[in-house]
Every structure is written in structure tokens, then in C-alpha cells.
Structure 1
Amino acid sequence: MSSAQQSFSAGQTQGQTQGKAENMIQSTKETASAAADKAQSAANTTGQTAEQNKEEAAGFLQQTGEQVKSMAQGAVDSVKHTLGMDKK
């Protein structure tokens, strides 16, 4: 093989290798971008779920507080009645 032929073959191999490397880099970038998109989507879903759970917990606590207040008022009324202090 002549020196020119060897140089041509080496250049051709280098070009093919460079093309493959660029394809791999592009593929890696696309994969990383897709992974970042999925992570962002998961974070948004998690945030929405947390907000919904927070709202449900607040509603539950308010309802429980109202029930405790009602029970306490009932106990006060019962004690007043027992002691003859009710004005009914």
C-alpha cells in the first residue's frame, strides 16, 4: 500500500470515527434531555400531590377542631345542667 493510500485510509477512518463519535454525543445529549424532562415532570407531579395532601390535611384538621369544639361545648352544657347553672 502506498503512502498516499495509507494517508487516505487513515483520513477515511478518522472521519468515520469522528462521525460515530458525534452521533454518540448527540444521542447522549438527547438521552440526557429526555431524562431531565422526565425528572422535571416527576418533580411537578410530586409538588402537585404534596399541595393536594396539604389541602386535605388542613381540611381534616379544621373539621377535627370543630368537632372538638362542639364536644367541649357539649361537656360545658352538661356540667352546667348537672349543677343547675343552665338558664333553660
Structure 2
Amino acid sequence: MASHNQSYKAGETKGRAEEKTSQAMGTMGDKAREAKEKTYETGQAAKDKAHGAAESTKEWAKESKDQTGSYMSDKAQAAREKAQSGKETTGGILEQTGEKVKSMAQGAAEAVKSTFGMAHDDDVGKEGTGSDTTTYRRG
């Protein structure tokens, strides 16, 4: 049988082992808590950074949209002004062309009348008739 001294030493060794185990468990618990806190902080920082990036992207997109809208509005206004100018120019050209055609038609009509002796005395020699000859009347 084991002596009283051996039992005492075994109990003492067992007590020391339990204490060391308890200390090691406490240290591991502390390390686990520190790791958990660090992981939480890292996750929170990543979340904040992602939120900031999302907000920046959102602002950039809004500014781009506003700039694009403004650009397109400016281009549309310029196109409207150019179209209006073209319309006015075309209208002026058509009006001038119409006046020239009307004048030429009147001149041609007067020339025909003059040729056939149908012109009135006051029509003879008018500008645009193309003739300053005397008119012969039938009659």
C-alpha cells in the first residue's frame, strides 16, 4: 500500500495540476474574448468602410446623373435653337424664291401681253417686262 507520504505527494501534484489547468483555461478564455472583440471590431470597421464606399458611390452616381441631365438639356436646347434658326433661314429663302417666281411670272405675262398687243399703255416700259417697245393694239 501506498504510504501516507506518497498519498500526500500525489494529492499535492493533483492540486497543482488542477490549478495549472485552471490558469491555462483562464488564459485561453481571455485570449478567446480578445479574439472575439478584435473580430467584432474588424467586422464593424469593414461594415463602416463599405457603408462609406456605398455612400460615395451613391453621391458620385447622383452627380453624374445631374451632370448628364444638364449636358443633355443643354444639347437639346442648342438643337432647338439651331432648328429654329434653320426654320427661319429656310422661311426667308422660300419667301425670296416665291417673290422672284412671282416677279418673273408677272414679267412673262406682261411680255406675252405685249407680244400679242394686249398690254395697256401704262404697262409698256414697266420694269420687269423685259421690253420697252411700243405696244400695238388691236382694234
Q: TM-score, normalised by structure 2?
A: 0.61
**AA paired with 2:82?**
T
Q: How many residues align?
A: 88
Q: Say which structure, 1 or 2, has more relative contact order (CA 8 Å, 6+ apart).
A: 2
Q: Larger helix proportion, structure 1 or 2? A: 1
Alignment partner of 1:12 out of 45, 53, 64: 45
Q: Match for residue 46 of structure 1?
A: 79
Structure 1 unaligned residues grouped into runs of 5+: none
Alignment partner of 2:62 out of 11, 17, 29: 29
**AA paired with 2:117?**
G
Q: Deviations over 1:13-67 (max 9, x none)?
A: 1101110111111011101110110000000000000001001111111110000
Q: Match for residue 107 of structure 2?
A: 74
**AA paired with 1:27?**
W
Q: TM-score, normalised by structure 1?
A: 0.95
Q: Match for residue 61 of structure 1?
A: 94
RMSD over aligned Cα atoms: 0.9
Structure 1 consecutive aligned stretches of length 4 or more whose deviation exceeds 4 Å: none
**AA paired with 1:82?**
T
Q: What is the CA-CA distance between 1:83 and the residue it aligns to?
A: 0.3
**AA paired with 1:38?**
Y
What SS does the aligned partner of 1:85 have?
Answer: coil
Larger Rg: 2
% identity of equivalent residues:
32
Q: What is the CA-CA distance between 1:4 and the residue it aligns to?
A: 1.3
